[in-house]
Amino acid sequence: MNTTPHPQDEAAPLIDRAIRLAVVGAGPVGLSLAIQAARALPRAQISVFDARAIDADISADPRTLALSLGSVQLLQRLGAWQDGMGQPITEVHVSQQAPSFGGLLGRWMGEPQVRIRAAEMDVPMLGAVLSYGTVTAALQQVWMEACKAGPQRLITRFSTPVRSLKPVEPADGASSPGGVEVDADIAETFDLAVIAEGGVFAEQERKPVTRDYGQVAWVGRVTLDGARGGVAYERFTRHGPAALLPLGPDQAALVWCVDAGDDPVAELTDVQRCCVLNTIFPPEAGRITSVSPLKRFQLGLNAERTLTGGVERDGHREPGRVVRIGNAAQTLHPVAGQGLNLGLRDAHVLVRELVRSNDVDQALRRLDRKRAPDRWSTIAATDFLARSFTWEWPGASGARGLGLAALQTLSPLKSALTRQMMFGRR
């Protein structure tokens, strides 16, 4: 008989142990983590905390999300995706508003652009666009069904904001940290607490890696006449990036980034905003006929150096079994649309390492090591693109244009970049 252990056997000590896991935040990242942990750790007790009421209609939240193909596939595996739930992105068109090169070079090369098509990558879609409420409601339904099937170990604590986290002293003689005390009306001790709620940049306390881009994003919806279905447009302008994300035959989500100190959008009427937007996006995007009321958000980078960082106390951080994922770990500029996708990958790898490791502390050490390449390559790329719009030195626009032209020409590079955007760095 072959007695060679199966790779999964190495995880048996942790799987057999009934660890207690607290998930703080019932958004897409927190719920996806809870569902994956419930399936992969069959004896774990998992509690999900959130300040919102259980009967609040989360499906009505209209905020628009751009999911990568990898994120869509994750939701499919979790049973939180149905055909028609989101608008597939079958093509991405990235371009720079003229003037880009100028002079003879500009007339010869034309407007720089990159086109990425799902058919070229041999995939059904590059990603999908849907509302925050739609994806959160679908995940919440899957989680609540799991709770009904296992009420003793899967616990929902809505209308229960977490007030504080405190490290629990390890047992006498132990070298590793103890658990975490979660104070949410009553104090409970868990082996691991995962913070999955982060909020927007303007409302966050500053993390070790932070940068205010001096930009704001105006976000809303537009109605289009003559648009091509399934195409997402990213447009680089001298004020900042602007994007149209497809929502249907004649609808698109708008993200319009401009200088916060000299905001050219704030004083415009809806009619004037339509006129300006029609000068920004290429004609093939369709003619914008109306714009919804827009909301304004401050933009910046705010990131933890590691996902595992302990517990805040008296202005400093003590060691402890606390993990931050999603916006609690990194808030990014929307120029590349990678914030939620990065958070979903954080959650997936955390659960995978809990399964593969012999104890919680080993899993957390492996988590930081495994997530660092994907996290920091995405953070660095997004930060570079966001900051490039603040550069005022001569030729900056031309350099961006040359970069786009080169990317379109170098197919292997474009393919590698596209796969990283769909699945993260592996």
Domains of the chain: 7-78+130-206+304-382 (3.50.50.60), 87-127+211-299+391-411 (3.30.9.10)
* pLDDT tens for the chain, residues 1 to 426: 333 333 344 445 555 668 999 999 999 999 999 999 999 999 999 999 999 999 999 999 999 999 999 999 999 999 999 988 999 999 999 988 765 444 444 444 567 788 999 999 999 999 999 999 999 999 999 999 999 999 999 999 999 999 999 888 776 555 555 789 999 989 999 999 999 998 888 888 999 999 999 999 999 999 999 999 999 999 988 888 999 999 988 999 999 999 999 999 999 999 999 999 999 999 999 999 999 999 999 999 999 999 997 766 555 566 679 999 999 999 999 987 888 999 999 999 999 999 999 899 999 999 999 999 999 999 998 998 888 766 655 555 666 666 665 666 766 766 777 787 788 876
Q: What is the arrangement of strands in the sheet containing 154-157, beginning at the earlier edge strand?
A: 154-157, 45-49, 20-24, 192-195, 322-324
Tokens of 395: 């030729």
Beta pairing class for 180-184 and 322-324: unpaired
Strands (E), 292-356: 295-303, 311-313, 316-318, 322-324, 330-331
Beta pairing class for 209-225 and 295-303: antiparallel
Task: Decide: 21 and 46 in contact? Cβ < 8 Å.
Answer: yes
DSSP string spanning 201-244?
GGGSPP-SEEEEEEEEEEEEEEEEESPPTTEEEEEE-SS-EEEE
Q: What is the pLDDT of residue 151?
A: 94
Examine residue 161 and say whether the peptide bond preceding it is cis (omega within 30 degrees of 0): no
Tokens of 231: 């195409």
Q: What does the angle CA 303 – CA 304 – CA 307 come to, to the nearest 5 degrees?
A: 125
Q: What is the pLDDT of residue 247?
A: 95
Cβ count near 275 (within 10 Å): 12
Distance, CA of 332 to CA of 338 (rounded, Å):
8
Q: What does the angle CA 184 – CA 187 – CA 191 come to, to the nearest 5 degrees?
A: 100
Q: For residue 334, what is the DSSP state?
A: G
Q: For residue 308, what is the DSSP state?
A: B
Q: What is the pLDDT of residue 200?
A: 81
Q: What is the pLDDT of residue 113?
A: 85
Distance, CA of 377 to CA of 387 (rounded, Å):
15
Task: Decide: 64 and 132 in contact? Cβ < 8 Å.
Answer: yes
CA-only gyration radius of the chain, Å: 23
Q: For residue 284, what is the DSSP state?
A: G
Cβ count near 88 (within 10 Å): 18
242: closest CA among 337, 172, 322? Answer: 337
Q: Which residues sit opposite 127 in a β-bridge?
A: 68, 89
The secondary structure element, H or E, covering residue 140 is helix 132-149
Alpha-helical runs (H) found in 227-308: 270-280
The single-letter code of the amino acid at 359 is D
Judge residue 399's burial from the number of C-beta atoms within 10 Å of its C-beta, 0-12 exposed, 13-18 middle, 19 or more buried: middle
* Residue found by looking up tokens 């091509």 in the block: 228
Length of the chain: 426
Task: Decide: 419 and 116 in contact? Cβ < 8 Å.
Answer: no
Phi then psi for residue 58, to 5 deg, are -65, -25
Q: Give the largest CA-CA distance in the chain.
A: 78
